[in-house]
Structure 1
């Protein structure tokens, strides 16, 4: 099968997505590279953004230009728009012509005034806990163009794999850091308990209660109380 011109155009971007190393990128720089690649392979020199739903509010985790950031933020303030609809419903949302929109007329008017002619938000296929959308803000073409829609769809389908994997990688790192911190805290607390037990002939429970009492009285974490006691031999209030 002879590859189409579009296949030839987008394959380098797909190849680079496959080569992106999690260890060499922060989550922010990784996602920023994804939006830059999207803007680079789509026709008409668009600006693109990635919206992720999570926590208390949506967030633009990466954008290829200031216009995309501003138009995303406008939708967040209004609580409605293509990127929010695509991210929350899993369905493509679009404004074919911002001068004559069928939905979101107030947002469309502001987008048109900012120089955006059309908008297409394509949902990222759901992977694990990642729900979001890739949004294209176009100046020189309309989202009704079949070629553009197919390219965006292919890119989003391909990009969701490394995006989801990067989120999982970051989550695993965070869990590992929390576990390491918990183990460190437990070790120093056990050390402080041992000193208290030997010095004051306390049981393990009594030693821990002494640490927690000082913690509550001083509004200080038990770990910090234990670390200071091990270092200085002083336990204020005991």
Structure 2
């Protein structure tokens, strides 16, 4: 069990740890790096020998999204294989779960036995309240029994709240980036199609509507996308294909 001095150190660390997450610039990060930072800050906040991980459940599929050590990773993966365990249940249920002593734990016997063999005697799994169809939990594993009392639980709960904001911001940024990429791709495709139409109009002396009908007919006949056929026409023209007349 942690001493009062260690708990006080955790209290002093917590605001700085929260600031480390709140100050993340999403443009400089990836979702993986943000989740790893969440796990690292959790360990720094408690200032003990814990290892931490983040369990992420998306569309019913759990993954260990980040971890600070092999023990945390292996214990996460064990829960996925067994289909039970505190981290997995915390992520799905949204309830914080504490294991004071794995040697006497009865809720998840298979997992608890494995954890003891791996050297983890207590754990704390705190849900991260994110949205966007994602469920997550911040997990801490300690080689000491009863490592996570009420004060430690409160610290990690506060940290999970800050982590939720950082993860939500990163998820929103990723969505914006993906949308921008799709728009850019669509604009590029449209420009290519317009170029191909212009080439066909000049080559066959037809108007814009007829040129698009030619592209559409070729697309259906070849079972290819219009934009791909348009790209071929533009590439052929740029590479010295048949001259454009008129």
TM bracket, shorter-chain basis: 0.7 to 0.9
| Aligned counterpart for 1:60 among listed residues 41, 64, 71 | 64
The CA deviation at 1:214 is 5.4
Q: Which residue pairs with 2:92 in the alignment?
A: 88
User: Is 1:206 aligned with 2:213?
Assistant: yes
CA distance in 1, matches of 2:99, 2:16: 29
CA distance in 2, matches of 1:121, 1:145: 12
CA distance in 1, matches of 2:156, 2:113: 24
Unaligned 5+ runs, structure 1: none
Q: Do 1:197 and 1:207's aligned partners in 2 also have CA atoms closer than 8 Å?
A: no
The CA deviation at 1:106 is 0.5
TM-score (norm 2): 0.84
The Cα RMSD (Å) is 2.2
Structure with max Cα Rg? 2
Q: Do 2:121 and 2:144's aligned partners in 1 also have CA atoms closer than 8 Å?
A: yes
User: What is the number of equivalent residue pairs in this alignment?
Assistant: 229
Higher relative contact order (CA 8 A, sep 6+): 2
SS in 2 for 1:208: helix
TM-score (norm 1): 0.87
| Aligned counterpart for 1:179 among listed residues 179, 183, 187 | 183
Residues 186-230 of structure 1 deviation map (CA, whole Å, 9 limit, x = unaligned)? 2212321332233233714422323413541xxx54433321210
The CA deviation at 1:31 is 1.8
Distance change (3 Å), C-alpha of 1:232 and 1:13: same
Q: Do 1:94 and 1:143's aligned partners in 2 also have CA atoms closer than 8 Å?
A: no
Q: Do 1:18 and 1:162's aligned partners in 2 also have CA atoms closer than 8 Å?
A: yes
CA distance in 2, matches of 1:5, 1:110: 31
| Aligned counterpart for 1:146 among listed residues 139, 143, 150 | 150
Q: Which residue pairs with 2:3 in the alignment?
A: none
| Aligned counterpart for 1:115 among listed residues 114, 119, 122 | 119
| Aligned counterpart for 1:77 among listed residues 81, 94, 110 | 81
The CA deviation at 1:116 is 0.7
CA distance in 2, matches of 1:211, 1:96: 69
